[in-house]
Structure 1
Amino acid sequence: MLKVLGKIGLLAPAFAVGAAWLVVLRMKDVPVPLLVAYGLLLAGAVVGLLWPGVFGRPATRRRVPAYLGVLAGLGTLGLYLAVVYYVTDLPVLLALAAVACLVWAAAAFLRGRRAAGGREARSTRRAFLSGGAGLVLGALGVLSVDRVERQRREVLARGEQERRAAVRAPGARRRIDDGAVRVFPIHTGDTIVTYGQFYGGLDGWEGLNGYLRTLVDKAQIAVPVFAYLIDHPRHGLLLVDSGVNWEQAHDHDGYYNHNQMVSRLLTQRDEYRLTPDQDLRVRLARLGYDAREITTVFLTHVHDDHAGGLRGLPQATVVLDRRDWEHGTVYPYSFDLVKDNLSFPAFDSGAFGPFPAAQDHFGDGSLVLLPTPGHSPGHMCVLLRLDSGSVLFMGDTLYTLPHLATDQVRQMTIGGVDTTRQLEAARRIQSLLAADPATVPLFAHDNTRYQSGLVASAFAHGTPGEEGVRELRRYMESVLTPGWRLRPGHTPHFVPPPSGADLGRVEFR
């Protein structure tokens, strides 16, 4: 009885690890039929090793599990090399192969010592062949380290060349210096997300269930990633969020291999798309600014599509909520160059409208930080005073303008108390916007006409003016009722991709 219970105890974790591995492979776009066949092979190998009697006669009880195990091992290696392998794995794989050969050689040598006659000679030959192969593989592993590092340097050098070429391309602007507060939306590429993650918060995309669905659901769309440059006559050059960087988009596995293999396994290689002219440093240069002039980055939260650009801003002070830094940081590599330049607001400036706590960052009312936890432990929004009104940088509290209709359109939420906090923050934002008709929201991922048409036009030169603010508010009122309901024609719907394409799109109707 104890033996059976022990085998069951081994079976459960083996199946759990196998299921996790199948989820990773599905996330990497391995076809479902192939996964089913591979999963059955894994299950057969595990069951055969624990209960060989299921395969009938004694002659088959050893052979079938061995064959299934070999096939499962080869399948695992093949799938790993096809969809997970990254060049930095080469030295590790060669080292593992070398160790396996040396272990095999030692085992063959010991068998030969116990054998007699011809068997001893055969075992000795196998030991020498296996040992020689192990030494060769070990030497190749050592030599490959330098080659791998050289290849990564070449990848980064190519990115630098593309960035410089984009900076020199015709059409750059001259910096405007007339004493006005200016805001420039900066499109730093796109992120690929599932439609449900972006719009399915009212359809079961919540908590752990929602996260698991993001791993396997292939109804995907591309949404923009925006950072915002603030040119302030009194406080210098500021940035709200920093978007993604070139490495995240073009050397994804290398970027996420700095922490641990799990980071690379649980992210998708094509989750970011960024052209050379969308690089944050390029966009700043083409607006007439230098990234080295940025003094402060206000980080709405620590998620990597908002923090990746910090790699190009080592001199900046990064202002973020301490709760996010201590409890929400998943990929600290993005912060390596600024981790000594962090500043945590105390939110001790008193209430601000519907918000019970706020931080008047400069002490003159020009920029106010508002805690909006929920999407992350210490998410915050940023309110900036302009000459013609105010802008509210939303971060990811709400993804798009239609998301202000929180009872009709909702993104995936963490669940439990975090969902409650995020909805409370959204209600406070609604109250703030309703109380001040000269305040307009600016989003980090808006994929609607509000961002691509209205915001792009109003802030083309950094200063929307009073008429620009009124135009943005008029458009808001054409999308949303005073009760924060969507008007007809503005409800999002997923449109599947055409044959041969991998991404769907969103229609509003």
Structure 2
Amino acid sequence: MKTLGKIALAVLGLLMAAVWLVILRLKDVPPVALVTYGAVLVAFLGGVLWPGRLGRRRALLFLGVPAGLGTLALYFAVVFYVTDAPVLLGAVAVACLLAALAGGVRRGRGGAGPSRRALLTGGAGILLGALAGLSTGPVARHRSEIEARWRRETQAALRAPGGRRPVADGRVRVFPLHVGDTVVPYGQFYGGLDGWEGLPGYVRTLVDKAQITVPVHAYLIDHPRHGLMLVDTGVNGAQAHDHDGYYRHNLASRLLTERNEYRLTPEQDLRVRVARLGYDLKDVTTVFLTHVHEDHAGGLRHLAHARVVLDRRDWEQGTLYAHTFEEVQDALVFPAYGSGPFHAFPESHDHFGDGSVVLLPTPGHSPGHLCVALRMDGGTALFLGDTLYTLPHLAVGQVRQMTVGGQATADQLKAAERVRRTLAADPAMAPLFAHDNTAYQTEAVATAFREGLPEADGFRRLRDHLGGVLTPDWRLRPGHAPAFAPGEGVGRVEFR
């Protein structure tokens, strides 16, 4: 039994070490340092459980001390953030007080008073507890300074010349909004057919450093009857510039994401993007959230006044960071999908009851992912969210993003097929993506929606572009297959 207990402890210790090493790799610790440090951890674990001739005391001294110092050094070098200070000081304070109490109890049983060691340990606990309390103020001020600096930068961007005035002529307008960028592994974006699926795929997202930068797009809708609306909201300044502080509510999320996963310039801030088009974010009445992932929901902190429409399954099963929704959780609206079929979709939700905005269930990427079909003069805009990342992803047999695995992957592929059949059935319908990094977004969509009015000619040109990339049976034409091109730090995508 003793041997089995040691084996169990060894397995548990190795698992914890592996998780810690993955976190450190995610934080860009060099592989050589990780291998050296990992070897010390394994040797220390073996030396404590099976000391042999070395002896447990020597194992603690010659292996435990380097392992402990290395852990502290790596933590403070790549994981520590100022918001950790009160928590760490408080934890050490509690440990000291408990040690002092235990020492005092042992002495008391022998009829003696507390030892000098217990008094010193208890005093250290009280001092550290006081420091933990005092540190909360500077930490709060530090985060406030970050927020104030971002506010000043966005205000300067708002005042910059070159803004436009909205046109009220009774027509539906759509404006693509580039509201940040996200840094992702190339395989997460394009490697769904190369093993990036399910849990193994997620692990690879943590350790794979072949990364690319992809855009985050939201869409502003100016509707003459239903007012100002948004499809998704992008990221916010705190996510990009105060990453660790923003995720203070969820330590696991902070540890398992990269500090630079989001990038946002003042000009890309949702409030600035909307204002530069001549609108005020305060006038947005409805937000259609394709799903609850952070790069689509970050801007909700500026939309407490709006109704937020999302699938109930996503809210109940897919919400990872509930604090992102604190400002809007009392204004959530869940579609019922009781409006009958919509092209290839057996279920739909006619949101306003007039056919102007139809919501389509496309689960898979998240439990309740949805797409939005908007009727415009001359055609229909189909906002795909993350059902498919880019135009080439419509060739799901050749290009596929990472999928969740199991039934979720099957659901996502079914949703993609329904999207393809719907596009085939309506030649005046154009897909609009949340992360397209191809010429379709930067050239075709940007041109067609420059004034918000693609009209029939614009929709036709978008479908012509689609036909130049994909064959009628949804295969990629030559010159449009993605490939990773290494660069200094973050790589890029080439199409061959």
TM class, shorter-length: over 0.9
Alpha-carbon spacing, 1:376–1:106, altered in 2? closer, same or farther (3 Å):
closer
Out of 474, 478, 481, the position equivalent to 1:484 is 474
Structure 1 residue matching 2:434: 3-state secondary structure:
coil
Asked if 1:503 corresponds to 2:463, the answer is: no
Out of 138, 149, 156, the position equivalent to 1:165 is 156
Aligned pair count reads 494
Q: Encode CA deviations 1:108-148: one digit per residue, 9 max, x unaligned.
A: 77899999xxxx9xx96655554444433332222111111
Tell me if structure 2 keeps the 8 A contact 1:44–1:65.
no
Asked if 1:342 corresponds to 2:332, the answer is: yes
Structure 2 partner of 1:375: 365
Structure 1 partner of 2:34: 35
CA drift of 1:306 comes to 0.5
Structure 2 partner of 1:95: 90
Structure 1 partner of 2:133: 142
Q: Encode CA deviations 1:40-98: one digit per residue, 9 max, x unaligned.
A: 11112222222222xx15xx442223332222111111111111111111012222333
Structure 1 partner of 2:242: 251
**Aligned partner letter, 1:306:** H
**Aligned partner letter, 1:224:** P
Out of 322, 343, 362, the position equivalent to 2:312 is 322
**Aligned partner letter, 1:465:** E
Structure 1 residue matching 2:368: 3-state secondary structure:
coil
Q: Mapping of 1:35-54 within 5 angstroms?
A: 35-53=34-52
CA drift of 1:457 comes to 1.1
Structure 1 partner of 2:190: 199
CA drift of 1:15 comes to 1.2
Question: What value does the CA root-mean-square deviation take over the aligned residues?
Answer: 1.9
TM-score normalised by the chain length of structure 1: 0.93
TM-score normalised by the chain length of structure 2: 0.96
Q: Mapping of 1:209-358 within 5 angstroms?
A: 209-258=200-249, 260-358=250-348
- Provide the C-alpha distance between the structure 1 equivalents of 2:363 and 2:109, rounded to a whole number of angstroms: 68
Structure 1 partner of 2:439: 449
Q: Encode CA deviations 1:443-479: one digit per residue, 9 max, x unaligned.
A: 0000000001111111111001222111111111111
Structure 1 residue matching 2:57: 3-state secondary structure:
helix
Asked if 1:183 corresponds to 2:174, the answer is: yes
- Provide the C-alpha distance between the structure 2 equivalents of 1:86 and 1:189, rounded to a whole number of angstroms: 23
Alpha-carbon spacing, 1:373–1:110, altered in 2? closer, same or farther (3 Å):
closer
Asked if 1:74 corresponds to 2:69, the answer is: yes
- Provide the C-alpha distance between the structure 2 equivalents of 1:365 and 1:106, rounded to a whole number of angstroms: 70
Structure 1 partner of 2:419: 429
Structure 2 residue matching 1:229: 3-state secondary structure:
strand
CA drift of 1:39 comes to 1.1
- Provide the C-alpha distance between the structure 1 equivalents of 2:2 and 2:51, rounded to a whole number of angstroms: 14
- Provide the C-alpha distance between the structure 2 equivalents of 1:326 and 1:134, rounded to a whole number of angstroms: 42
Q: Encode CA deviations 1:298-346: one digit per residue, 9 max, x unaligned.
A: 1111111111110110011111111111111111111111001011111
Tell me if structure 1 keeps the 8 A contact 2:100–2:121.
yes
Structure 2 partner of 1:474: 464
CA drift of 1:179 comes to 1.1
Structure 1 partner of 2:80: 85
Q: Mapping of 1:379-418 within 5 angstroms?
A: 379-418=369-408
Report sequence identity in percent. 65
Structure 2 residue matching 1:334: 3-state secondary structure:
helix
CA drift of 1:156 comes to 1.3
Structure 1 partner of 2:8: 9
**Aligned partner letter, 2:380:** S
- Provide the C-alpha distance between the structure 2 equivalents of 1:473 and 1:460, rounded to a whole number of angstroms: 17
Q: Encode CA deviations 1:173-195: one digit per residue, 9 max, x unaligned.
A: 11111111000000011000000
**Aligned partner letter, 1:72:** A
- Provide the C-alpha distance between the structure 1 equivalents of 2:355 and 2:108, rounded to a whole number of angstroms: 85
CA drift of 1:404 comes to 0.7
- Provide the C-alpha distance between the structure 1 equivalents of 2:329 and 2:123, rounded to a whole number of angstroms: 47
Structure 2 residue matching 1:70: 3-state secondary structure:
helix
Tell me if structure 1 keeps the 8 A contact 2:48–2:59.
no
Tell me if structure 1 keeps the 8 A contact 2:220–2:230.
yes
Asked if 1:22 corresponds to 2:21, the answer is: yes
Alpha-carbon spacing, 1:463–1:66, altered in 2? closer, same or farther (3 Å):
same
Structure 1 residue matching 2:248: 3-state secondary structure:
coil
Tell me if structure 2 keeps the 8 A contact 1:493–1:506.
yes
Tell me if structure 2 keeps the 8 A contact 1:52–1:65.
no
More off after superposition, 88-97 vs 328-337? 88-97
- Provide the C-alpha distance between the structure 1 equivalents of 2:220 and 2:424, rounded to a whole number of angstroms: 26
Structure 1 residue matching 2:431: 3-state secondary structure:
strand
- Provide the C-alpha distance between the structure 1 equivalents of 2:449 and 2:268, rounded to a whole number of angstroms: 17
- Provide the C-alpha distance between the structure 2 equivalents of 1:129 and 1:417, rounded to a whole number of angstroms: 58
- Provide the C-alpha distance between the structure 2 equivalents of 1:206 and 1:275, rounded to a whole number of angstroms: 32
**Aligned partner letter, 1:170:** P
**Aligned partner letter, 1:157:** A
**Aligned partner letter, 2:409:** T
- Provide the C-alpha distance between the structure 1 equivalents of 2:456 and 2:13, rounded to a whole number of angstroms: 64
Uncovered stretches (5+) of structure 2, i.e. residues with no partner = none
- Provide the C-alpha distance between the structure 2 equivalents of 1:340 and 1:105, rounded to a whole number of angstroms: 47
Q: Encode CA deviations 1:223-273: one digit per residue, 9 max, x unaligned.
A: 000000000000000110111111100011111112x21111111110000
